[in-house]
């Protein structure tokens, strides 16, 4: 049993995915067609994404970022 099989995950509908990613509906589906975004799970007429799919996609995007992590600053930090 893998680590992800050991616990239940929340499934997200498209509006929640759009809020979490900041992407538009068209961009999500364009990136799915280009294999640049996780494919959801069809449930009747709905498409659902597991929270782990979106989290993995976000982590991958952060790893691909041209900005080193140590250079990013929080808005509330004082310099």
- Please identify, in words, the CATH class of the domain defined by 9-61: mainly alpha
Question: What was the pLDDT predicted at 67?
Answer: 74
Return the ∠ at Cα 13 (arms to 56 and 31), rounded to 5°.
55
The helix, strand and coil proportions of the chain, stated in percent and rounded to the nearest 5, come to 50, 15, 40
Q: What does the pLDDT look like over 1-40, one tens digit per residue?
A: 455 567 889 999 999 999 999 999 999 999 999 999 999 9
Residue 79 confidence class, pLDDT cut points 50, 70, 90: very low
Query: Is 77 a residue whose pLDDT tops 90?
Result: no
> Regarding predicted confidence, which is higher, 79 or 51?
51
Nearest CA among 14, 21, 8, 25 for reference residue 49: 14
For the chain, the structural domain boundaries read 9-61
Entry pTM? 0.73
């Amino acid at each position: 049993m893998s680590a992800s099989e050991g616990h239940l995950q929340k499934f997200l509908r498209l509006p929640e995915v759009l809020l979490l990613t900041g992407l538009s509906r068209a961009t999500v589906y364009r990136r799915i067609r280009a294999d640049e975004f996780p494919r959801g799970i069809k449930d009747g007429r709905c498409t659902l994404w597991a929270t782990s799919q979106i989290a993995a996609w976000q982590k991958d995007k952060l790893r691909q970022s041209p900005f080193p992590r140590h250079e990013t600053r929080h808005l509330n930090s004082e310099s």
